[in-house]
């Protein structure tokens, strides 16, 4: 009887293991995504409407940023009427931060002046007389009105420095690409694929303008105006002249590349010569006083005792 029970238990064990394996296989099969269904869904799913696509964006992009831009545009109508073209050029040279328009920038100046002036007025009226409070409030209004201009100037300076630094390397790649047989537009596209900086984005804008039907001359002229960098304007003028006169583009690019590298070396030497003069002020006002305190500090009590005696 014991001998007949062993085969029976063995068969039951094998059947149990088989059942467990089938269950696990079915569970994993149910969890595995149906590739055919997913492929069909890519063709059968309905397209989202414009409203649904807009609702998928973050609330900051849907509500707060458009409301802030509308408020700045409204305040800009009451600001000082400046040269819109000059302000637009300055914003382009700064890289159009935040997609701000000239009217919105004027509104930013007005809004910041009101906020800062009223804030200082509320703070100073509690602890000062009316005349002093009004004086500080006027300083707050002027400071708030001028801060955006200072910020914009810093952005322009920073962007020009970045473009000037990247231009020699970009011209080297342009020259090598043109000498290898590529057309000038394809060489520009090669530069945009190689780097992702301010200069490459401007080259992308040039290629986009050419694709939209503008001539290469107009697109390059706009490039010089948008950047405001003298080296870029020299480069665009040379390319335009070579295109008009039929001069070899590779020779012009090689000449421009050598000149840009020479100018960068000259700027580095000029900065090195200015370093001692710039180091003079921190040495006089920061380092020398600390040295005097360390060297003459122990002698000060003795000198005071001698004069006291």
The per-residue pLDDT of the chain, averaged, comes to 79
Note whether residue 102 is domain-resident.
no
Note whether residue 94 is domain-resident.
no
pLDDT at site 1: 44
Note whether residue 76 is domain-resident.
no
Note whether residue 187 is domain-resident.
yes
pTM of the complete model beyond 0.85? no
Helix, strand or coil, per DSSP, at residue 58: coil
Q: From CA 236, how far away is CA 177, in angstroms rounded?
A: 17
Split at pLDDT 50, 70, 90, the class of 31 is very low
Q: Which of residues 85 and 269 earns the better pLDDT score?
A: 269
For residue 201, pLDDT over 80 is answered with yes
Note whether residue 190 is domain-resident.
yes
The structure tokens listed for 44 are 């059968």
pLDDT at site 196: 86
The total number of residues written for the chain in this structure: 309
pLDDT at site 299: 78
Cβ atoms 146, 79 nearer than 8 A? no
Q: What is the pLDDT of residues 264-293, one digit of tens each?
A: 888 888 888 888 888 888 888 888 888 878
Note whether residue 270 is domain-resident.
no
Q: How many domains does the chain have?
A: 1
> Residue 194: which domain range?
161-264
Residue 219 sits in a domain whose CATH number is 1.20.81
The structure tokens listed for 230 are 């003298």
pLDDT at site 159: 92
Note whether residue 32 is domain-resident.
no
Using alpha carbons, select from 107, 47, 98, 97 the residue that is nearest to residue 77.
Answer: 107
Gyration radius of the chain over CA positions: 35
pLDDT at site 43: 55
Note whether residue 33 is domain-resident.
no
């Amino acid at each position: 009887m014991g001998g007949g029970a062993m085969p029976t238990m063995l068969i039951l064990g094998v059947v149990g293991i088989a059942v467990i394996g089938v269950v696990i296989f079915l569970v994993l099969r149910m969890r595995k995504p149906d590739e055919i269904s997913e492929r069909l869904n890519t063709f059968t799913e309905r397209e989202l409407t414009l409203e649904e696509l807009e609702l998928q964006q973050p609330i900051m992009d849907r509500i707060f940023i458009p409301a802030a831009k509308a408020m700045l545009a409204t305040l800009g109508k009451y600001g000082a009427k400046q040269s819109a073209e000059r302000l637009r050029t300055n914003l382009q040279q700064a890289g159009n931060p935040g997609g701000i328009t000239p009217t919105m920038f004027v509104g930013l100046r007005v809004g910041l002046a009101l906020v800062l002036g009223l804030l200082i007025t509320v703070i100073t009226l509690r602890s000062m007389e009316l005349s002093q409070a009004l004086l500080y409030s006027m300083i707050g209004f002027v400071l708030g009105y001028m801060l955006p201009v200072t910020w914009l100037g810093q952005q322009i300076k920073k962007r020009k420095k970045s473009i000037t630094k990247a231009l020699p390397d970009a011209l080297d790649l342009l020259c090598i690409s043109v000498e290898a047989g590529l057309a000038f537009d394809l060489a520009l596209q090669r530069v945009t694929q190689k780097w992702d900086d301010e200069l490459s984005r401007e080259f992308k804008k040039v290629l986009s303008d050419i694709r939209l039907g503008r001539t290469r001359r107009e697109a390059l002229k706009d490039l010089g105006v948008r950047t405001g960098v003298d080296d870029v304007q020299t480069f665009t003028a040379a390319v335009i002249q070579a295109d008009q006169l039929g001069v070899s583009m590779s020779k012009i690019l090689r000449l421009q590349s050598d000149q840009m590298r020479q100018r960068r070396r000259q700027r580095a030497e000029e900065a090195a010569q200015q370093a001692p003069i710039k180091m003079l002020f921190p040495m006089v006002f920061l380092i020398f006083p600390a040295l005097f305190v360390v060297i003459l500090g122990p002698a000060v009590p003795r000198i005071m005792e001698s004069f006291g005696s």
